[in-house]
Amino acid sequence: MKTIHPSSNTLLKLALSLILVCLLAACDQDKTDLNAYIAQVKSQQKADIEPIPVMKPYEKFTYAASNLRDPFVPTVIDVPLPAPEPVIDNGIRPDENRRKEVLEFFDLSQLQYVGTLEQDQVWALVRAPDGVIHRVQTGSYMGQNNGKIMEISDSKLVLKEIVPQGGGGYIERETSVPAVEVN
């Protein structure tokens, strides 16, 4: 008796056939739930589609302002402004290399002169908007216009500010911060 050994090609064909039969058998499942859902969707009333809105007929417009002024033609002749007078350099300018002091970051209207303190010299006590009280002396700076303290009295602080004049120049002006009564 002779034994027949199947070749690998034959075994592969047999295995593929077996897998295909299993897959086809798996596809034949109970589909009643799917059929019920399809029947439910088909039984629902279909919504009507809204009709296209009616378009208004085009209305002719007649331009009746042809005898009026053309808005694209200038009616006023631009007269050039006279050249600004050159600024005479009076030598006054802020020191850009000087390190700014703490009170120079606040406007003078935000600062309050609350009193003096005497230790070897007279110090002015100034309250900043954040509530901190700073000690300054003659020669210290405060305010946003390079205000240098020139005089400290019981009633006010006298400052000399350097403010822009316009056109690149600067001028000096004297200002003061009055003393505030502390309760």
The CATH number of the domain holding residue 149 is: 2.30.30.830
Predicted TM-score (pTM) of the model is 0.52
**CA 96-98-102 angle, 5° bins:** 110
Task: Answer yes or no: is 65 within a domain.
Answer: no
pLDDT at site 126: 94
CA dist 153 → 67, 122, 136 (Å): 74, 9, 13
Q: Domain limits at 148? A: 105-178
What digits encode the pLDDT tens for the residues 111-167?
999 999 888 889 999 999 999 999 999 999 999 999 999 999 989 999 999 998 877
What digits encode the pLDDT tens for the residues 8-46?
778 888 888 888 877 766 665 677 888 888 888 888 877
Residue 152 phi, psi (nearest 5): -120, 120
Q: How many CA atoms lie within 13 A of 110 on its CB side?
A: 13
Task: Answer yes or no: is 84 within a domain.
Answer: no
Number of domains comprising the chain: 1
Task: Answer yes or no: is 75 within a domain.
Answer: no
- Residues 112, 118, 121, 123, Cα dihedral to 10°: -10
169 pairs with which residues across the strands?
166
